[in-house]
Structure 1
């Protein structure tokens, strides 16, 4: 994912592929060379002739203000924002004192952006910590964790897992009842995921905004767990920050890029972000809003507003950006 205006904020979608004959577009496909640097090659990339539609609950933008108004007076609620072939994303409100059971995800990691309130995370192998607004938290596969709202007001988090990721529970925990599901005693491998120098338990993005971020490897990336190799995990989440006053002027002919296999979506961490997604009129998203671009849909993103702006940009695959061809944007 590039730290330029070539990335759009998207709310996770559910596939959104049309079965109509696809028109070919001449574009650049990004590849990583063996030397580690980016290289590009000219290719023919498929695009639906009539464009890609948004399949609910996925939509171009989900406004946090509208969600809060919808659930005014409620302390416990869940709203699915993204549901597609790669990801599932929910906004979840939990009242003071509420606590999840101890649980884990068998095959992939999960991550959260805390939007309001305070959450105590207890993660296997880590000291418990309290995450407030602006915290980014992740847990690798099979690490047992729990969350508890602390303080005197509800907590609000955006939770992202891989599509169809089922939650499992240690044998000494009682699974909550689920409609149509029975929990059976079973055994699984003890092989567990792990943190590393780039994938850390949490990032307090308030420190970055204040000008003194905590150092870590690859500081512009929150999650680096791409759908590559022999194991499928929840993709890549990059932190992209910039000043709208210093970016080049917008060009009408700049379509941005698209992804062939899955969507891209964004969580606005700071300030305002402008999105141009397919035929959707250009719009501006604010802090806490989520934007979504379906697969095979051109999208362009720019910093907006008067101050610094940051988006968390999420895709499933490394080097999956498909750009416009140099001097030729015609379909064949």
Structure 2
């Protein structure tokens, strides 16, 4: 992983992908770290590799739908399909930033307070919404739209107050809708990053941390195929989800061997399992790594690759 980051830097003219990651890579110390045995399981219906083609295989294009992909203690993420004219009513996330990647169709995004307040997001646009900022999404195209939404696992949705609760979704189990006043929303500049990036319009300029909230991290890593010298590592506090934006990426995952992911595919590695991401194919490839700990640690075994071989561990 350390060298994957270094190759990305070289390919992009020494653009700083993540000062946090690079600092960790260079400032290492030896320690004993607890590692789960047996291997950390895949829970809540999550899979090592979620292929977009499999997600779409049983979906009705004339209906809107949601397909859960990540559901761990830090992050919840899902594919969302909207039929033409359908949308998501205006809401806010109380204490966390949220983000999504548009993959198909035309989605009108409304975020009052930014300029412009309304814009149309198409394939490759990454959008983030500051906490307590109202936002809504509507499919304004003539074909179904598709986007990948990412939330902190503890996110709480609240809704601008109308005269009644008519039309609101059911409250969470064990709760009732309660009228209230709330504190001011987060600013658009607190993270020093725009609300949206158009990845395919400028791939090289879209790298780096897109969401760097203290409870949600989305980092865009781009690089070219090269001999795999990256070290295996594991994490202790949360898993990593990798969303492939372009090209082809490979992942060696403890207990599973090698996985190959294409655009729109998502790879998930639970905390405690070794992983080794790499860039494959003939050109550039890009993955967005998603987790809930922007300053979380990575742990590398002293023997590389780990012993016994990764696929048999």
Give the length in aligned residue pairs: 288
Partner of 2:34: 46
User: Does residue 237 in structure 1 map to residue 218 in structure 2?
Assistant: yes
Shift of 1:168: 0.4
User: Does residue 223 in structure 1 map to residue 217 in structure 2?
Assistant: no
Shift of 1:49: 2.3
Once the two structures are superposed, what CA deviation does each residue of 1:266-286 show, in whole Å capped at 9, x if it has no partner?
100001111111111311011
Change (3 A) 1:279 1:107: same
**Structure (1/2) with the larger helix percentage:** 2
User: Does residue 205 in structure 1 map to residue 205 in structure 2?
Assistant: no
User: Does residue 71 in structure 1 map to residue 47 in structure 2?
Assistant: no
1:151-230 matched pairs, under 5 angstroms: 151-172=141-162, 176-178=168-170, 180=173, 181-196=175-190, 198-209=192-203, 213=205, 219-226=207-214
1:254-269 matched pairs, under 5 angstroms: 256-269=232-245
User: For residues 94 and 42 of structure 1, what CA distance do their matches in structure 2 show?
Assistant: 49
Task: Name the stretch that deviates more: 320-329 or 290-299.
Answer: 320-329
User: Does residue 80 in structure 1 map to residue 62 in structure 2?
Assistant: no
Shift of 1:165: 1.0
Shift of 1:220: 1.7
Question: Partner of 2:90: helix, strand, or coil?
Answer: coil
Shift of 1:136: 0.5
Partner of 1:286: 262
Shift of 1:208: 2.1
Q: Tell me, yes or no, if the aligned pair for 1:32 and 1:39 is still in contact at 8 Å.
A: no
Structure 1 length as normaliser, TM-score? 0.79
Higher relative contact order (CA closer than 8 Å, sequence separation 6+): 1
Change (3 A) 1:150 1:73: closer
Partner of 1:132: 122
Question: Partner of 2:86: helix, strand, or coil?
Answer: coil
Shift of 1:5: 6.5
Question: Partner of 1:292: helix, strand, or coil?
Answer: strand
Structure 2 length as normaliser, TM-score? 0.83
User: For residues 176 and 3 of structure 1, what CA distance do their matches in structure 2 show?
Assistant: 49
Give structure 1 regions of 4+ aligned residues with deviation exceeding 6 angstroms.
none
Q: Tell me, yes or no, if the aligned pair for 1:5 and 1:300 is still in contact at 8 Å.
A: no
Which of 268, 274, 293 pairs up with 2:250? 274
Change (3 A) 1:155 1:329: closer
Change (3 A) 1:201 1:67: same
1:85-100 matched pairs, under 5 angstroms: 85-100=73-88
User: Does residue 57 in structure 1 map to residue 45 in structure 2?
Assistant: yes
Q: Tell me, yes or no, if the aligned pair for 2:244 and 2:264 is still in contact at 8 Å.
A: yes
User: Does residue 323 in structure 1 map to residue 300 in structure 2?
Assistant: yes
Change (3 A) 1:328 1:117: closer
Change (3 A) 1:199 1:288: same
Partner of 1:11: none
User: For residues 5 and 300 of structure 1, what CA distance do their matches in structure 2 show?
Assistant: 12
Partner of 2:13: none
Change (3 A) 1:222 1:48: same
RMSD of aligned alpha carbons? 2.8
Question: Partner of 2:155: helix, strand, or coil?
Answer: coil
Which of 131, 136, 140 pairs up with 1:146? 136
Once the two structures are superposed, what CA deviation does each residue of 1:79-102 show, in whole Å capped at 9, x if it has no partner?
111101001001111111112221
Change (3 A) 1:280 1:183: same
User: For residues 2 and 176 of structure 1, what CA distance do their matches in structure 2 show?
Assistant: 47
- Unaligned ranges ≥5, structure 2: 7-18, 309-313
Partner of 1:103: 91
